[in-house]
A and B are shown apart, each in its own frame.
Chain A
């Protein structure tokens, strides 16, 4: 079974600075999808960014971008110009191409300091 590992239980960043959250995964498949979800204190799970494994180009969404290294099975999230509203739990998730099952990492709690 695929596993997703987030090795940083907690991270902190100064407002306006850049932070990178790590994620690695284990799979024998070649076709899959990767996601980063944000969970603020409100508990709502919000999609931040998505990456298709067959695409070499790293996905970007405004201040959020990923560094997808397929050979290394690494999928890190970079947040630029951090804002107070970015403070949340961030979950990395893996989804196989041929089923609906999504596996989540244990999460990284991000604190943004003013």
Chain B
């Protein structure tokens, strides 16, 4: 069973569209995250959610909005997509606490044309 799963794996869309990426974890973790990996492979955190509360938001445009219907899911919605949004987006989860390991999904490659 996949611990952290993201869908879709690949997403190709036009500028200006709205899209969503889904993430689910079956590890019983209480914190979930979204990371963005740019074309130079630099990985940067976007959001994290703990018990449905946003606890990190790293200067991400408000076109990006995380939505967590329950503790096992954290979806990423992106409005009015721009060329610069093209990247690989990773979902991750962990138990609360810095010592705890974050487990990552396989990533979603978003291409904005």
Give A contacts to B, CB under 8 Å: 32-33, 35, 37, 39, 42-47, 50, 52, 89, 91, 95-104, 106-107
Interface residue count for B (Cβ, 8 Å)?
A: 27
A106 touches B56 (CB 8 A): no
Give B contacts to A, CB under 8 Å: 31, 33, 40-45, 48, 50, 55-56, 88, 90, 92, 94, 96-99, 101-104, 106-107, 109
A100 touches B31 (CB 8 A): yes
B51 to chain A, nearest CB (A): 12
Distance A91 CA – B112 CA, assembled complex (angstroms)? 26
Q: CB within 8 A of A43: which of B40, B88, B99? A: B88
A44 touches B104 (CB 8 A): yes
A101 touches B41 (CB 8 A): no
B2 to chain A, nearest CB (A): 10
Contacts of B42 in A (CB 8 A): 104, 106-107
Contacts of B88 in A (CB 8 A): 43
Most buried by A among B48, B88, B102: B102
Distance A104 CA – B33 CA, assembled complex (angstroms)? 14
Contacts of B90 in A (CB 8 A): 45
Say whether chain B's binding surface is mostly helix, strand, loop, or mixed: strand
Contacts of A43 in B (CB 8 A): 88, 106-107, 109
Distance A103 CA – B92 CA, assembled complex (angstroms)? 14
A44 touches B101 (CB 8 A): no
B87 to chain A, nearest CB (A): 12
Contacts of B50 in A (CB 8 A): 100
Q: Contacts A33-B99, A95-B98, A106-B42; is A100 near B106 (CB within 8 Å)?
A: no
